[in-house]
């Protein structure tokens, strides 16, 4: 299946109810379960990832296929390691290519019994739930994936003796670690973070009533549309500028580089547009928020602004190799992206018309953010074609319907 996306004008007006935060929802599902809470989580995300995780936590089986849900794979590997029973945890073909060895090795040091049933270092996993042993120092590479760290942190209070994590190398996606700790704190857990060490004593979670806020990663596509519009007055429902989510920092980038103003109005954020300053090149570091890198890469090309982005090393182990995917798909716009160093992506601002596809047909590679990030380009190009458009259900199921609400045509 493919969708052709067009928009006859560059006016962006209306109200959009954003999806609930997937990052918060997935963490709170684990924490809520560990707290033996009697309360249901309010405004839980309806994304595929969250649905999969919720189904596993409420299942009456020991075999779990989590599809493309990377967060669920990481969080459940740690969670199931301490739940009595024998568990099989597998996923899609791509999931079976995504490394999990660092997390498994860390859990084994705590006494976990985990076996690889196919390839060493990759799912599927056979997990024999047991009582883990803490009370010591566990070293972990902080530059690979914050989800490994979050997975360990969430079970840390429930391990006899607690856990101290020492993070080695540069920490990737630090706001996601802070998000995990902030949510744990809301549920009654105390911690200390000194230098590169996070210490959590053995303690009990306290059940609380909790409502999930709107998703800032999902908001990024609307900020991009605002940047590409000529006239904008858009309300994003349920979004908070003062947010638990690290991706909220993007609002400053959009104002500084693209003239998109954001203002809190009650429980919502209003986007308006002013003339953006001119930059010869946009240089950004996504080490703390890699999930919005695709949004900015597509936007910069549409605005014809050269860029150099860094902090993108983890993009290679996402749903697809996102650096390679961006290089491949933006080539259809006549743009050649380079990788000056590992985890960097750059464009010098030149176009090669001989490479242009009319219209560009975007492959999504089973990656929701490819579809989500390229769709706003229809504000600039006559039409954009998206292959496998239903991939967006992983994080933003209502996206295509929401685009229609503000005047996009989707066929």
Active site residues: 291
The C-alpha torsion from 160 through 164 and 169 to 170, rounded to 10°, is 100
Measured between alpha carbons, how far is 333 from 351 in angstroms, rounded to an integer?
A: 8
**Contacts with 252 (C-beta within 8 Å, 6 or more apart), sequence order:** none
User: Could you tell me if 189 and 180 are in contact, meaning their C-beta atoms sit under 8 angstroms apart?
Assistant: no
Which tokens in the block code for residue 383?
A: 């039409």
User: Could you tell me if 184 and 10 are in contact, meaning their C-beta atoms sit under 8 angstroms apart?
Assistant: no
User: Could you tell me if 89 and 77 are in contact, meaning their C-beta atoms sit under 8 angstroms apart?
Assistant: yes
User: Could you tell me if 151 and 78 are in contact, meaning their C-beta atoms sit under 8 angstroms apart?
Assistant: yes
- Angle, in degrees to the nearest 10, between helices 70-81 and 22-34: 10
- Angle, in degrees to the nearest 10, between helices 250-258 and 216-228: 10
Which tokens in the block code for residue 368?
A: 């929701």
Which tokens in the block code for residue 184?
A: 């744990």
First to last CA, the chain: 11
Residue 258 φ/ψ, nearest 5 degrees:
-125, 5
| DSSP secondary structure string for all residues of 339-384 | -SSTT-EEE-S---GGG--SS-EE--TT-HHHHHHHGGGGGTSS-E
Three-state DSSP class for residue 411: coil
């Amino acid at each position: 299946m493919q969708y052709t996306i067009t928009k006859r004008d560059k006016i962006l007006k209306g109200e959009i109810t954003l999806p609930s935060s997937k990052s918060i929802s997935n963490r709170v599902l684990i924490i809520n379960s560990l707290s033996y809470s009697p309360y249901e989580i309010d405004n839980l995300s309806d994304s595929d990832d969250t649905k999969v995780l919720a189904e596993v936590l409420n299942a009456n089986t020991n075999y779990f296929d989590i599809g493309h849900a990377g967060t669920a794979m990481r969080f459940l590997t740690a969670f199931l390691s301490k739940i009595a029973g024998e568990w099989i945890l597998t996923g899609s073909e791509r999931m079976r290519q995504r490394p999990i060895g660092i997390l498994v090795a860390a859990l084994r040091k705590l006494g976990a019994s985990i076996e690889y049933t196919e390839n060493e270092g990759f799912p599927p996993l056979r997990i024999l739930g047991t009582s883990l042993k803490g009370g010591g120092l566990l070293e972990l590479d902080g530059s690979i994936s914050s989800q490994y760290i979050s997975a360990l942190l969430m079970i840390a209070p429930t391990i006899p003796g607690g856990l101290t994590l020492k993070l080695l190398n540069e920490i990737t996606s630090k706001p996601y670690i802070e998000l995990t700790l902030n949510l744990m704190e809301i549920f009654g857990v105390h911690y200390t973070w000194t230098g590169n060490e996070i210490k959590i004593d053995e303690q009990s979670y306290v059940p609380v009533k909790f409502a999930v806020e709107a998703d800032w990663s999902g908001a990024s596509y609307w900020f991009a549309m605002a940047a590409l519009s000529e006239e904008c007055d858009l309300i994003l429902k349920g979004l908070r500028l003062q947010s638990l989510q690290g991706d909220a920092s993007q609002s400053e980038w959009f104002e500084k580089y693209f003239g998109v103003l954001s203002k809190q109005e009650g429980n919502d954020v209003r986007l308006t547009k002013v003339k953006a300053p001119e930059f010869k090149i946009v240089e950004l570091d996504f080490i703390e928020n890699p999930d919005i890198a695709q949004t900015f890469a597509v936007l910069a090309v549409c605005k014809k602004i050269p860029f150099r982005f860094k902090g993108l090393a983890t993009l290679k182990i996402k749903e697809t190799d996102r650096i390679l995917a961006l290089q491949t798909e933006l080539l259809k716009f006549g743009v050649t992206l380079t990788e000056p160093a590992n985890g960097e992506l750059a464009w010098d601002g030149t176009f090669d018309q001989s490479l242009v596809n009319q219209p560009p047909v975007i492959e999504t590679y089973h990656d929701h953010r490819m579809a989500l990030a390229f769709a706003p380009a229809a504000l600039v190009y006559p039409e954009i074609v998206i292959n496998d458009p239903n991939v967006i259900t992983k994080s933003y199921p209502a996206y295509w319907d929401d685009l229609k609400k503000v005047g996009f045509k989707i066929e």
